[in-house]
A and B are shown apart, each in its own frame.
Chain A
Amino acid sequence: MLDFFRTNRVVVTSGALLLLSLLLLSVSVRTQRRIDPLTGALLEGIRPLQVAVAGTATLVRRNWGRYVMVVGVAQENDRLRQRVLELEREVVRLGEAREAVTRMKALLAMKEALDGPAQAAQIIGRDPSPWFGTVTINKGEADGVTKHLAVVAPQGVVGQTISTTAHSARVLLITDHNSGVDAVVQRSRARGIVQGALDGGCVMKYLKREDDVAEGDRVVTSGLDGIFPRGVTVGVVARVSRGNRGLLQVADISPAAPLDRVEEVLVVSPGTRMGERVP
């Protein structure tokens, strides 16, 4: 017997260890208590080494990616730069689109407020001369645009058409000295004519001296000239001038519509009113 064990001690020991393993497994499964003291000691003992090796491996991996494998970095850099440029262009494009949507919404609101036909047009050109205030729009006779039609923006009056071609029209801005809009002060109903001034602003003339006009008063179209619908904002009184004598007073008007920046306008058909039903 002893000889047998001596001769086959390795196999016997292995067999005993196999049985021990099965016993350990059986106990471990039954008790569900995996962390026995020996295992705990092993884990605690090896933990600092694991921390050190894992930290070193992470450092090597990061530096490998950062410094050694630079072959792909330059290409990725170029690709990302290109992507950034594309995205910046996209941002600009989307910003433009957003601004256009905002303007279109305002234009649509204006169109809905007008009780009559009106069509949208885009300003495609401006007068190169500083002495004249005209713009060109992209709608013409083919679109039903004729001379002496009111042109308005959401913020207020822009001007009137003075000449047309098949697909475009020239608009005389209210700031042109040849322009004239029959208007009233909204608060006091004082009536006058808003003419363009050479400095790019407007002047309201033929106000009676006794008319109540003050700075900040809103000036709107009277509708009596047969061109502009009644009640469309022309501008705001910036200054009132009364001479020492005379029957009249003059008011400087700041146009409500940003005439130097407006891009989309409405061409209003004759007879259109602001928010009133056409009889």
Chain B
Amino acid sequence: MRGSALFAACAVIAVLLQTTVLPAMAGLPAAPDLLLIFCVYLGLHQHTVGGAFGAFVLGYLQDALSGSFLGLNAFGMCLVFTLVYLTSRRLWVDNAISKIVVVFLAALVKTAAVVGLIAVFLSTDGLWRGVARYLMLEAALAAALSPPLFAVLARTRTAGARAEP
């Protein structure tokens, strides 16, 4: 319980950073998706129903705070969680390099899912230009930030596990 609370607090901090500090940083054409890194972490380490709900909530939070329609990022996060969960059960992805690659690929999968949904439900006019320009950069930024974030989340999990009897 305490571990979940700590994870939730970290997620709120990540949301705040993603919506206030990161967009305001000069010279940054794209902002890294910190919540995606959290979702990948859940897929790697939280193989529970709670992890699935956590991914859904992260996506829902992102939808609530962004200009997208409800369900768009929630779908993307759930899909990422599912794929990472299934992958981690079959492949060994426990070292830093593997995690970076997983985060990078997860960013691409999420973007593909979101773009696919937009193509189905909405219009894709002008979307491809933005996707092509920022997709790789966003994925690279997320992958670059994943090691320190994973370290922070691992500590919160350890702290949560220690606190529970």
- Residues of A that sit less than 8 Å from B by CB: 9-11, 13-15, 17-18, 20-29, 34, 36, 38-39, 42-43, 46, 49-50, 53-54, 57-58, 61
The docked-state distance in angstroms from the alpha carbon of A42 to that of B64 is 7
- Residues of B that sit less than 8 Å from A by CB: 12, 15-17, 19-21, 24, 47-49, 51-53, 55-56, 59, 61, 63-65, 69-72, 74-75, 78-79, 81-82, 85-86, 117, 121-122
- State whether A54 touches B20 (Cβ < 8 A): yes
- State whether B49 touches A9 (Cβ < 8 A): yes
Among B16, B70, B74, chain A packs the most CB atoms within 10 A around the CB of B70
- State whether A25 touches B72 (Cβ < 8 A): yes
- State whether A22 touches B75 (Cβ < 8 A): yes
- Name the B residues within 8 Å of A9 (CB-CB): 49
Main secondary structure of the interface of A (DSSP, over half): helix
Of chain A, the residue at the smallest CB distance from B16 is A53
- State whether B48 touches A57 (Cβ < 8 A): no
Among A13, A20, A38, A50, chain B packs the most CB atoms within 10 A around the CB of A13
- Name the B residues within 8 Å of A24 (CB-CB): 70-71, 74
A49 contacts which of B12, B53, B56, B78 (Cβ < 8 Å)? Answer: B12
Of chain B, the residue at the smallest CB distance from A24 is B71
14 CB contacts below 8 A, A to B, read A10-B48, A10-B49, A14-B85, A15-B82, A17-B56, A18-B78, A18-B79, A20-B71, A23-B71, A25-B72, A36-B70, A43-B65, A57-B24, A61-B24
B56 contacts which of A11, A21, A28, A34 (Cβ < 8 Å)? Answer: A21
* CB-CB under 8 A for A17 and B21, given A10-B47, A28-B71, A46-B65: no
B78 contacts which of A14, A28, A43, A46 (Cβ < 8 Å)? Answer: A14
The 9 closest A-B pairs by CB, nearest first: A25-B71, A24-B71, A21-B75, A21-B74, A14-B82, A54-B20, A28-B70, A28-B69, A39-B64
- Name the A residues within 8 Å of B52 (CB-CB): 10, 13-14, 17
- Name the B residues within 8 Å of A25 (CB-CB): 69-72, 75, 117, 121
Of chain B, the residue at the smallest CB distance from A15 is B82
- Name the A residues within 8 Å of B70 (CB-CB): 24-25, 27-28, 34, 36, 39
Distance in Å: Cβ of B116 to nearest Cβ of chain A: 11
- Name the B residues within 8 Å of A15 (CB-CB): 82
- Name the B residues within 8 Å of A17 (CB-CB): 52-53, 55-56, 74, 78
- State whether A29 touches B69 (Cβ < 8 A): yes
- State whether B20 touches A53 (Cβ < 8 A): yes
Distance in Å: Cβ of A9 to nearest Cβ of chain B: 6
Of chain B, the residue at the smallest CB distance from A35 is B64
- Name the A residues within 8 Å of B121 (CB-CB): 25-26, 29
- Name the B residues within 8 Å of A10 (CB-CB): 47-49, 51-52, 85
- Name the A residues within 8 Å of B79 (CB-CB): 18
The docked-state distance in angstroms from the alpha carbon of A107 to that of B10 is 81
- Name the B residues within 8 Å of A53 (CB-CB): 16-17, 20-21
Of chain B, the residue at the smallest CB distance from A29 is B121
- Name the B residues within 8 Å of A39 (CB-CB): 63-64, 70
The docked-state distance in angstroms from the alpha carbon of A222 to that of B16 is 91
A57 contacts which of B20, B85, B122 (Cβ < 8 Å)? Answer: B20
The docked-state distance in angstroms from the alpha carbon of A46 to that of B15 is 9
